[in-house]
Amino acid sequence: MEKRDFLKYLGLGTAMMACAPAMSRAVVLPASNEEKKKIKPISGSWFEFQHSSESEGGIWNKPLAKFTADQWRRKVFEIKEVGMDYLVLMSVALKGKPFYPSAIAPQIPMGCDDPLEAVLSAADECGIKFFVSNDFWGDLDAYTMMIDKDVQKKRFRSMEEVAAKYAHHESFYGWYFPNEAQLQPYFIDECVAYVNECAAFARRLTPACVNLIAPYFIKEARFDDTFVRQLEKLNIDIIAYQDGIGATHTELAKSAQYYETLYKAHAKASRARLWADMELFYFRDGIIAADLLPASFENRILKQMENISPYVDKILCYQYIGQMNKPGTDIVAGHPDSLRLYEEYTRWYRKNFKSAK
């Protein structure tokens, strides 16, 4: 599902993932009991220039649309300050129009002539690694974008443009394929061509790339031969499963058991690395597709981290943009509670990880 246009995608019964020969195996080693007790910090975040749904992200879309190159730079540095080393760009386009200067279609007007250049240059400076999106070049229907041949042509043409313009950046770590997969309980057949073709094309353009996907509906996950065989064939380096807590797909009390199931399957397959995509938000007044607001760190997010940590290599979050903001700056984009979440998380991080500055 397009992260996170929930109203459109909560009812989607078909979604995406893929199977193909993987480039390399990432052996998953069992965690020791001591390691299982440790709560991992948030290692990175999804990142947006504009959220696809105004009803969900309108609070932060308006200020982001006015950000200058310097403000984007300082926002990337702000994220690095709290120990995050990875950013996953949600989209390079929105409804067929790019955020960067392109020959494919007119650029979306922003306060910065080239926000993609601005954030990658900043990431070069501060040591963040970016997974760069290769979509949204069609209407915001993930399944249609996955199978539509016209969208595919634009997607691959865009990847060629993006690689030519930006792959020289040290921070250009790899690609993110954002038409996300729903476990039901397995990856559907239509996803095979989508991810395989994206991965093959990405490796032709950027041979050293590390590629990532972020499936959802982890409550459907099964540790069985069918799922393990899919993972063995999956041509992807990292799978960061959405925990579904903010989207209300998953009960907080049950998330650990779902990640344990995924852990067992990945350990047996010895293929893609297992990461998490942890949701920081809740819906205003409990209404799906209303404003996404920052959850409480102590009352919810810390428990999410505790549940996830024993089973994954790294925890990424959806997302710093809009849900966390450093107080006292001119680059606040989001609800005032985002300042509170920043301070709550930063206190915990600095207390538990001595390398924090």
In a domain, 75, yes or no: yes
pLDDT at residue 10 greater than cutoff 50: no
Percent of the chain at pLDDT > 70 equals: 89
Residue 52 belongs to a domain: yes
Side chain identity, residue 317: C
Which among 213, 347, 194 has a CA at the least distance from the CA of 275?
213
CA distance 54 to 290: 9
- Report the number of distinct structural domains present in the chain: 1
| Model confidence pLDDT, tens digit, residues 330-341 | 999 999 999 999
Average pLDDT, the chain: 89
Residue 70 lies in a domain: yes
The first and second tokens of residue 168, run together, are: 């020289």
Task: Flag whether 357 is in a domain.
Answer: no
pLDDT value for 357: 46
Output the DSSP codes for 126-155: HT-EEEEE----SSS-HHHHHH-HHHHHHH
- The pLDDT value recorded for residue 356 is 45
For the chain, give me the number of helices (H) and strands (E)?
13, 12
Question: Do residues 332 and 342 make contact, with C-beta atoms less than 8 angstroms apart?
Answer: no
Q: What pLDDT is recorded for position 14?
A: 34
Q: How far apart are alpha carbons 328 and 305 in whole angstroms?
A: 27
Instruction: Specify the 3-state DSSP secondary structure of 246.
Output: coil
Contact present, 226 and 214 (Cβ < 8 Å)? no
Residue 33 lies in a domain: yes
Is residue 86 assigned to a domain? yes
| In the chain, alpha helices (H) | 6-9, 33-37, 54-65, 69-81, 115-126, 142-147, 149-166, 190-205, 225-233, 255-269, 302-308, 320-323, 337-352
Residues 6 or more apart whose Cβ sits within 8 Å of residue 189: none
Measuring CA to CA, which residue among 260, 253, 178 is closest to residue 212?
A: 178
Work out the pLDDT band at 75, boundaries 50, 70, 90: very high
Q: Locate 151 and state its tokens.
A: 């969208």
Domain presence at residue 1? no
Q: How high is the pLDDT of residue 23?
A: 37
183 in a structural domain: yes
How far is the C-alpha of 38 from the C-alpha of 301, rounded, in Å? Answer: 15
Which of these ranges, 50-59, 80-89, 146-155, has the smallest mean pLDDT?
Answer: 146-155
pLDDT digits (tens, 9 = 90+) for 83-111: 999 999 999 999 899 999 999 999 999 99
CATH of the domain at 67: 3.20.20.80
Could you list the residue range(s) of the whole structural domain that residue 262 is in? 6-19+28-352
